[in-house]
Amino acid sequence: MKGFLKMKKLLRLLFIAIIFQSAVAFAQDTVAPKTPICSLRLLLPPAVYAVPGHEISIYFDNVILTPCVKNYLFDVDCKAGRQDQERWRYTPESKDVGSFPFSLKVFDTFDKLAGEASTTVYLSPANAGAGKNISLLIVGDSLTDASVYPKELYKLFKNEGNPNVKFIGSHAGHGSEVKEGVPGHEGRGGWTWNSFCTKWTEEKDKPYRAKSPFLVLKEGKPVLDFKAYCDKYNEGKAPDFITIMLGINDSFGATDETIEKSIDSMFGYADTLLAEFRKVGPNTKIGIVLIPPPAATQDAFGSNYKCGQTRWQYRKNQHRVAERLIQKFAGKEKENLFIIPAYINIDCVNGFPKKQETANSRSSVKISRDSNGVHPAPEGYLQIADSIYYWLKYQLSQEK
């Protein structure tokens, strides 16, 4: 009998040990996975540009990669501006002209340091380039074709203390005519770096999107000829400045498994187009505009793409494009190649379109939902214009 009781006790202890071990293993698997689902990937640009009298912001959600920015705490170290809940913001004065460091630390909900990065803020004089004559070519996709930020750039340069800017372009938005007060550009909806290098088709409904403006027929084949473009639109001279905002369509449909290949392909065409620009304009300053993040919620993507794309997948794609562009082009200032960090300075909560609708079919309550995933509202476009304007003013301040 005693032997039986002893055996029963041992079996009970063994059972408890097995349960305990299983619980520990489960806790380890659920609480502390060996490989994080997504690292923070804090991304500040090499430089941030600013101009007196105009606000510049760094939105925290735009510089880290997370499905929920509220899971993190931010600590800005900077002598200027102020830190708000969602951003650092700064409206400089003329007396502040110069440069200064900016650093950002990010902590998780356990108050552990999750990431840190730093950059330099360059504040240019408000009258940089005053009275000069310069030319600007703007290249992009539908965000450029919408023409809001090119028009705002035109307005900004009409203010006192600015150069006289010639906006080079074959159209002024959706194929419309370039005329006084309506700046030209080369924006085309749905286009990629590849499109500007190779597209030569027939589109009767939208002829301005049928062929790349940088291609001409030679011996029956379309070839890049930026010299011919400059002859036609800028009296044979290369532009003083070119800005290029492409990458949205190049990466939109990528997955985690294909994003690197998509970007590699994009870079092949980018190298081809930039080499053609450089051949004609060796001294042209070219700004690569880092594409903005999407609208803040999945509602925008549901509105545009139903179940075809998620906000989070595109946000991962956009962040990776920005990372790779910085890796590729940072430090190439001596080659007249620059990064324009538009992605930090756009309000993805309040700068994208919204629409009112009922909460559900049985409700009379009206709510506001984001309604466009990648195309900003006018306010968002104006912030993109600001970012490009600040970079141009910095470049003008460096000219002797």
pLDDT of residue 380 exceeding 70, the answer is yes
Write out the DSSP string of 318-369.
HHHHHHHHHHHHTT-GGGTEEEE-GGGG--TTTSS-EEEEESSTT---EEEE
| pLDDT value of residue 400 | 74
C-alpha–C-alpha distance, residues 199 and 222, integer Å: 9
Q: What are the backbone dihedrals phi and psi of residue 178, each rounded to the nearest 5 degrees, phi first?
A: -80, 125
Domain membership of residue 335 (yes or no) is yes
**11-24 pLDDT, tens per residue?**
555 444 444 454 44
Residues 300 and 152 in one domain: yes
Rounded mean pLDDT of 115-135? 98
- pLDDT tens digits, one per residue of 147-178: 999 999 999 999 999 999 999 999 999 999 99
Q: What Cα–Cα distance (Å) separates residue 303 from each residue in 3, 297, 349, 374?
A: 72, 11, 16, 11
Q: Is the pLDDT of residue 3 over 70?
A: no
Are 220 and 364 part of one and the same domain? yes
Residue with the bigger pLDDT between 250 and 27: it is: 250
pLDDT in the model for residue 22:
46
Residue 7 lies in a domain: no
Helix (H, G, I), strand (E, B) or coil at 312: helix
* Domain end position, chosen among 63, 92, 123: 123
- Residue 336 maps to a domain: yes
Which residues have C-beta within 8 Å of that of residue 258, sequence separation ≥ 6? none
In the numeric block, which tokens belong to residue 148?
């809001």
The range of the structural domain enclosing residue 386 comes to: 129-398
Q: What is the pLDDT of residue 12?
A: 58
User: Which of 86, 108, 123 is where one domain is finished?
Assistant: 123
pLDDT tens per residue, range 323-354: 999 999 999 999 999 999 999 999 999 999 99
Query: d(Cα 383, Cα 377) in Å, to the nearest integer?
Result: 10
Q: Are both 76 and 93 inside the same structural domain? A: yes
Which one, of 375, 242, 250, lies nearest residue 320 by Cα? 250
State yes or no: pLDDT of 49 exceeds 50. yes
What count of other Cβ atoms lies within 10 Å of the Cβ of residue 178? 16
Nearby residues of 170 by Cβ (< 8 Å), 6 or more positions away: 178, 184, 186, 208, 213, 233
117 and 143 both lie in a single domain: no
Q: pTM score, two decimals?
A: 0.90
Asked if residue 387 is part of any domain, the answer here is yes
On whether both 326 and 363 belong to a single domain, the answer is yes
Name the token pair of 104.
Answer: 């950002």
State how many domains the chain has. 2
pLDDT band at 28 (very low <50, low <70, confident <90, very high): very low
Q: How far apart are CA 286 and CA 241, in angstroms?
A: 6
- Tell me: do 306 and 362 sit in the same domain: yes
Residue 39 banded pLDDT, cuts 50, 70, 90: confident
Partners of residue 287 on adjacent β-strands: 243, 338
The mean pLDDT value for 304-315 works out to 98
Average pLDDT, the chain: 93
Domain identity same for 138 and 102: no
HEC string for 184-221:
CEEECCCCCHHHHHHCECCCCCCHHHCECCCEEEECCE
Say if 28 falls within a structural domain: no
Integer-rounded Cα Rg, in Å, for the chain is 26
Q: Tokens 């690569």 sit at which residue?
A: 288
Region 124-151: mean pLDDT is 98
Q: Do 136 and 62 belong together in one domain? A: no
Could you give the 3-state DSSP secondary structure of residue 268? Answer: helix
Do 233 and 311 reside in the same domain of the chain?
Answer: yes
Q: Is residue 68 part of a domain?
A: yes
Written as six digits, the tokens of 260 are 């690197």
- 397 phi, psi to nearest 5 deg: -70, -20
pLDDT at 231 over 80: yes
CB 65 within 8 A of CB 316: yes
Least confident span in 65-74, 164-173, 203-212, 302-311:
203-212
The Cα 395–Cα 325 span in angstroms is 20
Mean pLDDT of 50-71: 98
Residue 30 belongs to a domain? no
The CATH number of whichever domain residue 329 belongs to comes to 3.40.50.1110
Cα–Cα distance, 185 to 98 (Å, whole number): 32
* CATH label of the domain that carries residue 94: 2.60.40.10
pLDDT at 363: 98
329/308 Cα distance (integer angstroms): 32
Cβ-Cβ contacts under 8 Å for 186 (sequence gap 6 or more):
137, 138, 139, 140, 144, 169, 170, 171, 196, 213
Q: Tell me which of 123, 158, 177 is where a domain ends.
A: 123
- Are residue 253 and residue 287 in the same domain, yes or no? yes
**Inside any domain, residue 20:** no
The answer to whether residues 358 and 319 belong to one domain is: yes
Give the residue carrying structure tokens 């141009």: 392
Whether 84 and 198 map to the same domain: the answer is no
